[in-house]
Structure 1
Amino acid sequence: MTDNGRVGYRDIADELRRRIDSGELAPGSRVPGENDLMSRYDVERPTARQALEVLKNEGLIVARRGSGTFVREFKPITRVSPDRLRTGQSIWDADLGSRPRTENVTVDVEPPSSSVAEALQLADDEHVVVRRRRYVVEDKPVQLATSYFPEALVAGSSIAQIDTGEGGAYARLKELGSEPTKFVEELRVRMPREPEREALELAQGTPIILITRKAYTADDRPVEVNEMVLDSSAYLLEYRFHSND
């Protein structure tokens, strides 16, 4: 309540949040609109609008142009580690049981950033082959990925082509005598930059998960840095390990 005893936008947001958390407003269900809130709580339009904005910024509800506002549906892709990096299967098979659609694949040769050069242990004059792509599941973009490989290692291989062939880049690295067998992943969460928001078609208030994976051969030689930008509303990260790992 406000000081004058009237309902404030936070009170309305708290009530709607409670209804979402309890399941009364289920995923995909329509959320009361501004007119409904104005009538129910006897408030002006700016108060009703601000209450909905609070929940949008928390990522609990999404507006669909011409349709209204709905409780966000969470149908996660379970990203299982370390199972997904075991040899003999597609990474996406471990996550989805199938492959997503790959879009906007580009391959370039570029000078590396200082962080990539350090991770790949490159000399000052060395370049990297950069593979950029977007992954789409059920017509929804879910991930952006940028992989960096030492040019001296992969030049002339299918890794430097749009189509890497059966088994992907890791199969080609194995053929080159540089099979990745050890991996290190760093995770962080932040709000998206505008190009990331547009590329992933993110709803308002949706953060991204940034995963940087470094791949090494059995003798600890770095062969890839992969920077992945994940739609956090599309993923559940699952980690499996033993107490003696």
Structure 2
Amino acid sequence: MAYKYKIVADGLRKQIQQGKYPPGELMPDQNQIAKEFSTTRITVHKALQLLMIEGMVYSKRGSGTYVRKDYIQSEHGDNYGKVSPIDKPLGATTTNQGKKVTSKVLELSARIPTEEETTKLLIQPTEPVYVIQRVRFVNGEVFAYEHTIMPTSITTLTKQDLEGSIYGHLQKDGLNIKGSHRIVRADEANKIDVENGIANKIGAPVLVINQLSYLDDGQPFELSESRFPFKTSELTADITL
């Protein structure tokens, strides 16, 4: 059975897609939405968090929740904004089962988040975040360079945890990883890419995935950028019509 907040999120998403709340529109307050869906304000809050992660709405302190002005209604209907197969939260260890996956940890530190990190991770400006940098290897070959920001409140991480699977560590902590919002793009290699074996020269093409992942309660737990060698990287998606 689906969580109630997901049912509410689906209902609000459909209303936005159908034009009930156009781009830039102020949505009803959480108490009104709770009454409409016969639920609690806490459930509505989680539903709106999910739509924020998807990039459909944003919250303005002291004013309310708005539909993003850059939101464009999709001709693909209900498929808009949902997690697609290519966006499933699968790490290198899961996608390379049967192979030897290792990591070289470049950084594990903590600091106060930037304004962007605070907004995307839905945390307070004073809540510390981990800064994680590591290079992943599959069967001894460079697979990816990862730069990850994660709230320290989510879990306690050690260098040993980073040498293995972070997602595996979270699951052992009893956390259920639900989904991701990903942007896949091409980029030119920079100095860090060259230093870590992602590219052989500055300016060479690399594959980049920017990702915001969240738990089953709608809480974002990871803001990351992964960079892959273009010659050995490919993305696969199963599309069902």
Compute the TM-score of the two structures, normalised by the length of structure 2: 0.55
Match of 2:176 among 179, 203, 206: 179
Match of 1:225 in 2: 223
Match of 1:94 in 2: 95
1:233–1:109 distance in 2 versus 1, CA, 3 Å: same
Measured on the aligned residues, the alpha-carbon RMSD in Å equals: 2.8
Instruction: Extract unaligned runs of 5+ from structure 1.
Output: 1-80
SS at match of 2:154: helix
Structure 2 Cα separation of the partners of residues 125 and 200 of structure 1? 35
Percent of matched pairs sharing the same residue: 17
Match of 1:190 in 2: 187
Q: Is the 8 A contact 1:178 1:223 kept in 2?
A: no
Q: Is the 8 A contact 1:93 1:99 kept in 2?
A: no
**2:121 aligned with 1:124:** no
Match of 1:241 in 2: 239
1:194–1:133 distance in 2 versus 1, CA, 3 Å: same
Partner amino acid for 2:127? E
Partner amino acid for 2:188? M
Q: What is the CA distance between 1:133 and its match in structure 2?
A: 0.7
SS at match of 2:193: helix
Q: What is the CA distance between 1:94 and its match in structure 2?
A: 2.3
Aligned length: 156
Q: What is the CA distance between 1:162 and its match in structure 2?
A: 0.8
Partner amino acid for 1:188? R
Structure 2 Cα separation of the partners of residues 176 and 142 of structure 1? 26
Q: What is the CA distance between 1:139 and its match in structure 2?
A: 4.3
Q: Is the 8 A contact 1:131 1:148 kept in 2?
A: yes
Structure 2 Cα separation of the partners of residues 110 and 100 of structure 1? 28
SS at match of 2:117: helix
Q: What is the CA distance between 1:127 and its match in structure 2?
A: 1.3
Q: What is the CA distance between 1:223 and its match in structure 2?
A: 1.2
Instruction: Extract unaligned runs of 5+ from structure 2.
Output: 1-84
Structure 1 Cα separation of the partners of residues 94 and 126 of structure 2? 38
Structure index of larger Rg: 1
SS at match of 1:152: coil
1:219–1:130 distance in 2 versus 1, CA, 3 Å: same
Structure 2 Cα separation of the partners of residues 124 and 218 of structure 1? 23
